[in-house]
Chains A and B, each alone.
Chain A
Amino acid sequence: MGLDYAAVEKEVCKKMTAETIVSMIRILVFPGALFLFTLAFFYEWVDRKFFARLQNRYGPLHTGPHGILQPIADFFKLLSKEDITPHASDKLVFILAPIFYFALPLTTLFVIPILSQTSLISFEGDLIFVIFAFTLIIITVFLAGWSSINRFSTIGSMRAAVQMLGYEIPMGLVMVGPAIAAGSLSISRIVEWQSLNFWLILLQPLGFAVFTVCLLAELQFVPFDIPEAETEIVAGWRTEFSGRKLALLRLGRDLELVLASALITSLYLGGSQQFWLIPPIVIFLVKTTFAVMLLSLLRAVFARFRIDQMLSGMWKYLLPLAALQIILIQLGLGG
């Protein structure tokens, strides 16, 4: 009966430390934060380059091969710039807003399966969490604009809030579509279901279309870049931000782009699944790059809507379409 309690304890501790280190690496390096930052910068480059080529321009050209390092260079340049906090602004909110704006999409990306069919953090109902996070991002945008006490920022943040009222509900509705089909509110389970059955874009094309349009609005891309319409209200809600804060806002925007493309991939394009011998991560990257290019293409071919036109369009056309998709699923089509 010479059980060495101390040795067992030591063993357990060792195991735990190893596990902690592994999970720390997973969260901080791969496929966590560091990997996601790289991805964010890469997708900004993809977006800029593809958008520029569509417009018959060259886009980023000089930093790195084909300008691939330009977004990183921009980021570090902004970090070194003077950081101005306006006197009249609500300082606490003004400082916190960029941090939230960058942290929210980053956190949300952890529930999306990237490396394999299960994500870093997965629980029943993480889809609801994603919907909630999208709302929080816009509330952060609103607070960021509102706290800077600038006419243009105030108008921009008001527009962001009003715009959210337009696209939030159709987006929430269509995001439930895949969940009904897979019979689960977990994104990992939806991806798993798709690998066993069909890609959901084939079953719910309507839902895919509505979701993409709503994501354009969420990302504030043309034709829904109303909250930061350059020619109307300067930079909208971002007018007063500079230096490090602006750098964080830009990184946050890029992470949001990653989140949007990852969601399109996971919910409608089958997510990260093994295909022959190709590892899931490669499949995931190819699909998300396609999603980013789809979003850039859409933002290149439209003119900006007016806020009232956007709202009425969303309620008149997109919401009924989203509802129709859900009804079709209930009737047994697309699920």
Chain B
Amino acid sequence: MSYGSIIKVPFGPQHPALKEPGNFLFEVDGEIVVDVKPRIGYNHRGVEKAFELRTYIQNIYLAERICGICSDAHTTCYTQAIEELLGVEAPPRARYIRVIIAELERIHSHALWVGIAAHEIGFDTLFMYVWRDRETVLDMFEMISGNRIHYAMNTIGGVRRDIHADMVSKIKKGLDLLEKRLKYYLNVVQTEQTILKRAVGVGILKPKDAVDLCAVGPTLRASGIKNDVRVDDPYAAYDEIAFNVITHDGCDVLSRILVRCEEMLESIKIIRYGLDSMPEGIIRVQVPMKVPQGEVVSRVEAPRGELIHYAKSNGTTKPERYKVRSPTLGNIPALCKMLLGGYVADIPIVLAGIDPCFACMDRMAFVDVKKNKEWVWTMQQLRRKYAKK
């Protein structure tokens, strides 16, 4: 449906489809998108500069707070980079615990995404059901680490908390429930006609474009390309665990949903294997405060795709330069490609299709003085400030 005139439609920074601030300026001809201009940086907190100003220990907590959903992926990436610089290796049990936490996080992140995708196409019932079952994973996190989102499990030289035998049986029980539910949702997604109508053939990303535009993670795998850091560049204990890399070659939103759903089932298998074959032993080793000069590239398969950190140390207690590239930034060019030529009504689901995480994406360089102050304010000061207004 073309009306012959081009209207510019802004999408964000505040928009119900985007739970985080990002801006996309669409040029729309009738209901067809003809041009997209992304503008990011609304969540820019200066994390990279902040890394240079803090000690290695403090930076663990900073890395944890780059993102709220894949907090474990960032700390895994950070700690293994620093461990490599130090020349130490995490004990085997710690490496297994890292895998278990990472896979639990993948389930929780993908379940969150499936819910959001359902909400974007107006299927709120599925959204509510998936999120209800996601609680199972969050409860497991609470049991293991005491926290539902920021688990703070990783530290340089290992992990901070152990998974005890009584936890193992509880986790397994939860996994059985999850597996049943996930299989049901997989079936719903594949058979429900209104979902298929909105997802099949929408947001096409051809394999060649996906490679050229350097897409990562499930977005890339949904275009039929087998690429997974866990297999290609194994870290933690992934080299000892066998699992399948899920790919689908539909290149559309449905493939992205299926890839994520099946990855969750695969994650359950990995966790079960990990729980069974976790070696006994210590969970962390002591490491020195000072890190010798060097540089390292560290990669992790975060739920959204390849996460890469680059660290350069200068022999002191603080890093010289720390670079973070989160998967969402890598997927933005591919996203723009998917949106071109699509319908306005499909923008939310295509946008959600890459599972954007703007907090991860806008991490870099300047420090917002306002936010920094608010951090150290006491509750009373805050109350005073807002009472005046």
Direct contact of A and B (CB under 8 A): yes
Which A residues have a C-beta under 8 Å from some C-beta of B?
54-57, 151, 155, 222-223, 225-226, 229-232, 234, 300-309
Q: How many residues of B contact A (CB 8 A)?
A: 31
| Chain B interfacial positions (CB closer than 8 Å to A) | 1, 7, 9-10, 15-17, 31, 118-126, 128-129, 132, 192, 194-195, 197-198, 343-348
B345 touches A232 (CB 8 A): yes
State whether B194 touches A305 (Cβ < 8 A).
yes
Ordered by A's residue number, 15 sampled pairs between the chains whose C-beta atoms are within 8 Å are: A57-B128, A222-B123, A225-B122, A226-B345, A230-B122, A231-B119, A231-B121, A234-B16, A302-B194, A303-B195, A303-B198, A306-B197, A306-B343, A306-B345, A309-B197
- In the complex, the answer to whether B124 meets A222 with C-beta atoms within 8 Å is yes
Partner of A55, one of B9, B128, B346, B347: B128
Interfacial chain A residues near B122, Cβ < 8 Å: 222-223, 225, 229-231, 302-304
- Of B9, B10, B344, the most chain A CB neighbours within 10 A belong to B344
- Cβ-defined contact, B129 with A55, below 8 A: yes
A229 to B343, CA, bound (A): 14
Question: Smallest CB–CB gap between A63 and chain B, Å?
Answer: 22
Compute how far the CA of A148 lies from the CA of B133 in the bound complex, rounded to whole angstroms. Answer: 41
A329 to chain B, nearest CB (A): 29
Which residue of B is nearest A300, CB measured?
Answer: B125
Chain A nearest Cβ from B341, distance in angstroms: 14
Question: Top 10 nearest A-B pairs by Cβ distance?
Answer: A304-B122, A303-B123, A303-B194, A55-B128, A231-B17, A231-B348, A303-B121, A306-B345, A302-B194, A300-B125
Chain A residues lying within 8 Å of B120, measured Cβ to Cβ, are: 231
Q: Within the assembled complex, what's the spacing in Å between the Cα atoms of A155 and B9? A: 10
Query: How far is A225 from B15 in the complex, measured between Cα atoms in Å?
Result: 18
Q: How far is the CA of A231 from the CA of B346 in the complex (A)?
A: 10
Min C-beta distance of A302 to chain B, whole Å:
5
Give the residues in chain A near B121, CB-CB below 8 Å.
231, 303-304
Q: How far is the CA of A47 from the CA of B282 in the complex (A)?
A: 56
**Interface SS of A by simple majority:** loop
B250 → chain A closest CB, angstroms: 18
A18 to B108, CA, bound (A): 69
Given known A-B contacts A223-B194, A232-B17, A234-B15, A301 and B125 have beta carbons under 8 A apart? yes
- Given A151-B7, A231-B119, A232-B347, verify A54-B125 contact (CB < 8 Å): yes
Q: Which residues of A contact B10 (CB under 8 A)?
A: 151
Contact of A56 with B132 in the complex, beta carbons under 8 Å: yes
Closest Cβ–Cβ distance, residue B276 to chain A (whole Å): 33
List 19 other contacts, CB 8 Å, given A223-B194, A231-B119, A306-B197: A56-B128, A151-B9, A151-B10, A155-B344, A222-B122, A223-B122, A230-B122, A300-B125, A301-B125, A302-B123, A303-B121, A303-B122, A303-B194, A303-B197, A304-B121, A306-B343, A306-B346, A308-B1, A308-B343
Nearest CB on A from B2, distance (A): 12
Most buried by A among B123, B125, B192: B125
Q: Which residues of A contact B16 (CB under 8 A)?
A: 230-231, 234
**Chain A positions within 8 Å of B119 at CB level:** 231
Contacts A230-B16, A231-B16 given; does A55 touch B345 at CB 8 Å:
no
- B31 lies within 8 A of A307 (CB): yes
**Shortest distance between the CB of B28 and any CB in chain A (Å):** 9
State the CA gap A307–B346 with chains docked (Å).
11
What residues of chain A lie closer than 8 Å to B343, measured between beta carbons?
A: 306, 308
Is B345 a contact partner of A56 (Cβ separation < 8 A)?
Answer: no
Residues of B within 8 A of A307 (CB): 1, 31, 345
Known A234-B15, A234-B16, A303-B192: A55·B125 in contact at CB below 8 Å: yes
A231 to B197, CA, bound (A): 17
In the complex the two chains form, what is the Cα distance from A302 to B118 in whole Å? 10
Among candidates A55, A151, A155, A232, residue contacting B124 with C-beta atoms closer than 8 Å: A55
Tell me the bound Cα distance from A36 to B55 in angstroms: 68
Chain A residues with Cβ under 8 A from B346's Cβ? Answer: 306
A232–B348 touching, CB < 8 Å: yes
Considering the chains assembled together, what is the distance between the CA atoms of A226 and B126 in angstroms? 18
**With the chains together, A56 CA to B17 CA distance in Å?**
23
> Closest Cβ of chain A: how far from B322's Cβ, in Å?
36
CA distance A231 to B115 in the complex (A): 13
User: Can you name the residue of chain A whose Cβ is closest to the Cβ of B17?
Assistant: A231
- Cα A301 to Cα B125 in complex, Å, equals 7
A222 to chain B, nearest CB (A): 5
A232-B16 Cα distance, complex, nearest whole Å: 8
A307 to B17, CA, bound (A): 18
In the bound complex, residues from chain A placing their C-beta under 8 Å from that of B9 are 151
Q: Give complex CA distance A232, B121 in Å.
A: 9
Q: Which residues of B contact A222 (CB under 8 A)?
A: 122-124
